[in-house]
Homo-oligomer: A and B are copies of this chain.
Amino acid sequence: MANTDSVGLRVFSLNCWGIHYLSKHCPQRYAMIGDLLCKEQHDIVLLQEVWSEKDFLSLKQKLASTHPHSHYFKSGVIGSGLAIYTKHRIHDTFLYRYSLNGYPYMAHHGDWFGGKAVGLAILNIGSLTANIYVTHLHAEYCRDKDSYLPHRVVQAWELQQFIRHTSAGADLVILGGDLNMHPQDLGNRLLRTSTGLRDSYSETAKFDGCENGMTLIADNPFISQKELGPFEKGIRIDYILFKDSSKAEIYCDFMSTTKGSVPDHPFPYSDHEALTAELRLETRTRTEAENDRKVMSQDAAAGKLAELVDIVTEARTEVKVGLHCAERMRYTATRTGVMGLALLFLELAIAAVPWLALGAEQPFPRTSFYMLAALCFAILVTTFLLYIFYTMELKSLQGAEDQMRLAVGSLQERLRGFPLAQPHSSQRRPPEGLEPSAFDPEE
């Protein structure tokens, strides 16, 4: 294969833990992050949990000479926390807000207020169109009894949909961010298998960083052992993923993570470790690309399809669990609301009957009367709001489940037709753009 050009691309990703007054040493850590970025001059910097726009702007100012182009993605009440700084001009941006993202009344978890989303920035790197995605998924607070799992699975489903559908025109795709999923978690498998994204940690030629590429480690002073649960040394939940195309091949030459402490500083950059991937893009001319076109064997393609069917089916099961749970919650809200209404009527009846019958001053103690009425109203308002919220949650879960069912049907149809697919393989879509993922139709 004759490569026409080779370009290096250094990508950085960090969850900044930027909650003012709650995150420890926030201003000092931002100063450290700014210094690091100025010094390292990565091509693309993807940040998460930049909850304050002020912090984005002060970093922007600091990085004005090294990273002249930037974008801050806004979403939710205080989010989305996603930011990108780059050496390459950003031509276009787009934001997809996940339809499910926790519960507003779980204010101590705060995810709902963050308006979790996936941001897309389109850059030109040399002659290549690069789709750069940055995202942050719902946190996992308790792995054993993870009530947010259906939400995170739906987020992973929407993330892969967004990437698949928006990247057809791209020559390379890079996704960086805090997925809040272990490497073999359902959502992660779903994302990788359906999009064809490759993990730079698994692909790298050389690695320097925490054991197993972990990004939330026990050695980080901001991390308590409780957060890590049974994973004593740490977990890997932050990623830089990439996908090449017929116009460019991507290799990961080197990957590194920070290791929980920073030389000459009393504390690390964040509670998460920062990732750096040194990628090499080898661009190819169209003729070379066509000559080099990788043809997947029929068995391998069928195997990949079958794997995807299994994963989507597993995801569907998880969404169904979420549906069942949301239905139960809505039912509880409805029942409580009805009880509140009944109590209100009962109170009014008790108060009204003696007054009507005797025409005298009502015997119901006034204080209790008003307190009880206020309580009933509070119950009614709260349960009404909860009913609305759970109905929206149900719609989103049902919507995701419908889409998954349709996808499984479509994949199975293709799988059934596999032995017959060969005669038509020459009609296959020409390989402009990205390498096909398992989802792309063959016809």
Which A positions have Cβ atoms within 8 angstroms of B? 71-77, 79, 89-97, 99, 104, 115, 120, 122, 124, 127, 129, 161-162, 165-170, 286, 366-367, 370-371, 373-374, 377-378, 381, 385, 388, 391-392, 395-396, 398-399, 402-403, 406-407, 410, 413, 427, 429-430, 432-433, 439, 441, 443
Chain A's interface: helix, strand, loop or mixed, by majority? mixed
A92 to B406, CA, bound (A): 7
A286 near B430: Cβ-Cβ < 8 Å? yes
Q: Give the contacting residue for A124; candidates B96, B388, B443; CB below 8 A.
A: B443
B76 near A115: Cβ-Cβ < 8 Å? no
A167 to B167, CA, bound (A): 9
CB distance from A285 to the nearest CB of B (A): 11
A71 near B406: Cβ-Cβ < 8 Å? yes
A441 near B124: Cβ-Cβ < 8 Å? yes
Nearest-neighbor residue (CB-CB) of A286 within chain B: B430
Q: Which of A73, A115, A286, A392 has the most CB of B within 10 A?
A: A392
Q: Give the contacting residue for A399; candidates B75, B122, B391; CB below 8 A.
A: B75
A152 to B166, CA, bound (A): 23
Q: Give the contacting residue for A71; candidates B93, B129, B367, B402; CB below 8 A.
A: B402
Nearest-neighbor residue (CB-CB) of A390 within chain B: B77
Q: Report, nearest first, the 9 A-B pairs whose CB atoms are least far apart.
A: A168-B169, A74-B399, A370-B370, A168-B168, A432-B432, A165-B166, A74-B395, A374-B374, A91-B410
CB distance from A177 to the nearest CB of B (A): 18
A-B contact pairs, 15 of them (CB 8 A): A71-B406, A74-B395, A75-B396, A76-B395, A89-B410, A91-B441, A92-B407, A97-B99, A127-B443, A165-B166, A166-B166, A168-B168, A366-B367, A367-B370, A373-B374
CB distance from A404 to the nearest CB of B (A): 10
A374 near B381: Cβ-Cβ < 8 Å? no
A71 to B399, CA, bound (A): 10
A93 near B169: Cβ-Cβ < 8 Å? no
Given A165-B94, A168-B168, A432-B433, CB of A402 within 8 Å of CB of B127: no
Q: Give the contacting residue for A432; candidates B71, B403, B430; CB below 8 A.
A: B430
B97 near A97: Cβ-Cβ < 8 Å? yes
Given contacts A94-B165, A377-B378, 7 further A-B pairs with CB under 8 A are: A75-B395, A77-B388, A94-B162, A94-B403, A127-B427, A166-B166, A373-B374
Give chain B residues whose Cβ lies under 8 Å from the Cβ of A92.
165, 406-407, 410, 439
Give chain B residues whose Cβ lies under 8 Å from the Cβ of A430.
286, 432
